Structure 1
């Protein structure tokens, strides 16, 4: 009997192996409608490349429902007003799912056009919790950790650092992500350290402002500050260069919007800089699957990834494929329902959880890294111990 069971299992595995090795039929189109050029290019181009690697890996294992995947990429030029037009281009090319920009403000217009056409839209890394059921629509998902989780994670990390008792908060008001990141950091920090531990708060607009001389003067005047919470995004690194050039050498704490090698040259020998990222791009990620992915990326594109967000592009396709396989169908409503059952679903970036009410993760771990003399070292992955759910 034991031999018969083993033989039956071997036969089943062999049949499955044939299926997995031979994806056939008309390709299933995955569309990308995001900023391949312009402001969001460092995020969105990398996410599109990550999606391409996911398509290759999934096809090598037999595709989705036995059919191969095909990627169609179009450029919004990082202009939200072009989002609907570009989304319709990939939908006209047959897209069953559309990957949109790594931001609520930039990605929502393309996502709205996609779900209006009855298809699922997934943002590679829009982290404002409005990207989902409440702010875009029932078929909108994002692979990001919500700013609720990111802000709480960073606040808890900061409380564990020796001497980090007083914070100066710098908030970029250009996009919803940076505003809600600071708001959620502030809320958790005050819970842990009290209102008096905030010695200064300032704002700027990363899309419109070229200089922050006034803000720098006020940081210098806040002599009791032990560190700066930096809720901004990279652009060309000019803001961070201004801070360090002014002689402010306080620890600076930031999140994944400041990830990337594309701006580091603007701040030579960057030090005392701490950041939460989805993946290390420096060949030292402690998670073996992500480290292997980064090797594949460099081998394919002949250069290292510029931002860790390449893994969220991969995960977006991976998540949709898991949903289609669970549903046993390409019907968008069935895939949506299947994705809403994800509970710590094993994906490249870690366990992913969705519900009918929340299409964004709250507890996915992020990798903390520290820069010293321009070199980044991993400090380990962590998730927040306490995350308040989004309020809409």
Structure 2
């Protein structure tokens, strides 16, 4: 991760007042640590593991993502509302902290709602190292009572989904923001029965007017649609820092930090954001559920979890 630290130091030397760092604790933390050491605020647009913040990085680290505590709970609650989704097979990518904690938080809330016996199988793979998951696919097929799969995947999404569907596994697959994006869909052009929580639709059908307008402006400026919904969290990161600076009436990092820690449902592009001196990540920001049918994604509406357990450090 040396390149992340080097780039952070370069922009700080150039006079940056805030540094926007890479998503995920694993990738963004080195640059954030360098930024904080220089006395500036570091913001990740979509690091969702709660360790990215005060406890895991430092007092001037913030992230605009919904914590995996909230994402996992949201997905579990969504699943319980779907007819016939009674038995789950959980697939966890162990490559990064996000996917591990997403599955762990989904599992915790699902068990609260449906009981331990409703989990008919659990498996892992490493998305950075594994190109094939034949063994895992065989075990999913063997768990014939599973009527949906919770998929906590990070990379090689197209290859993994193609392998699963080609093996004849056609039960619903439930995923979250790390599976967002048009970059892998061509590998499974007729993808169906796939459900995902995202920050914004990239398909021109987002039901939130402000986000839909943002996406239109993005496409007009860059001459192509956004490839991932995370473009809105990048905008929101800058928006949040600007709100903090305005509230502080200053560019002083300590004053902006203190101002951002007073955010209570602060109106930002992705929804209301709340921070405290102890928690620099959102627990209840709504996400948009979408469903893919024959490769076409349709919005099912935004939602937040009814019950979210706070992070344990």
Q: TM-score, normalised by structure 2?
A: 0.99
Does the residue aligned with 2:290 lie in a helix, a strand or coil? strand
In structure 1, stretches of 5+ residues that fail to align are 1-80
Aligned pair partner of 2:272 in 351, 373, 384: 351
CA distance in 2, matches of 1:388, 1:325: 32
- Alpha-carbon contact 1:165-1:226 (below 8 Å) kept: yes
Is residue 234–residue 259 contact of structure 1 (8 Å, CA) maintained in 2?
Answer: no
Aligned partners of 1:365 and 1:321: how far apart in 2?
22
CA contact (8 A) 1:234 1:263 kept: no
SS at match of 1:290: helix
Q: Can you list the C-alpha shifts for 1:141-200, whole angstroms capped at 9, x where unaligned?
A: 000000000000000000000000000000000000000000000000000000000000
Preserved contact between residue 278 and residue 309 of structure 1 (Cα < 8 Å) = yes
Alignment match, 1:207: 128
Deviation at 1:216? 0.1
Q: Give deviations 1:104-127, integer Å, cap 9, x for gaps.
A: 100000000000000000001000
Structure 1 residue ranges (4+ consecutive) displaced by more than 3 angstroms after TM superposition: none
Residue 307 of structure 1: CA displacement? Answer: 0.3
Q: How many residues align?
A: 312
- Is the alpha carbon distance of 1:380 and 1:140 closer, same or farther for their aligned partners in structure 2, counting shifts above 3 Å? same
SS in 1 for 2:157: coil
Note the alpha carbon deviations across 1:235-280, whole angstroms, 9 max, x for none. Answer: 3511111101111101000000000011000012100000000000
1:336 aligns with one of 240, 257, 261:
257
SS at match of 1:169: strand
Note if contact 1:276-1:366 (Cα within 8 Å) is conserved in structure 2.
Answer: yes
Q: In the TM superposition, what whole-angstrom CA distance separates every residue of 1:78-101 from its partner, at most 9, and x where no partner exists?
A: xxx211111000001100000000
Aligned partner of 2:84 in structure 1 is: 163
Question: TM-score, structure 1 length as denominator?
Answer: 0.79
Q: Give, in whole Å, the separation in 2 of the partners of 1:377 and 1:84.
A: 39
Q: Secondary structure at the match of 1:237?
A: helix
From 204, 213, 238, the equivalent of 1:283 is 204
What is the Cα-based RMSD across aligned positions, in Å?
Answer: 0.6
Give the match's secondary structure for 2:120: strand
Q: How far is 1:234 from its partner?
A: 3.8
Q: Give CA deviations for 1:207-239 in whole Å, capped at 9, x if unaligned.
A: 000100000000000000010000012435111
Deviates more, 1:81-90 or 1:344-353: 81-90
Secondary structure class of the residue paired with 1:333: helix
Partner Cα distance (1:267, 1:285) in 2:
22
| Distance in 1 separating the partners of 2:207 and 2:157 | 28
Asked if 1 retains the 8 angstrom alpha-carbon contact of 2:157 and 2:179, the reply is no
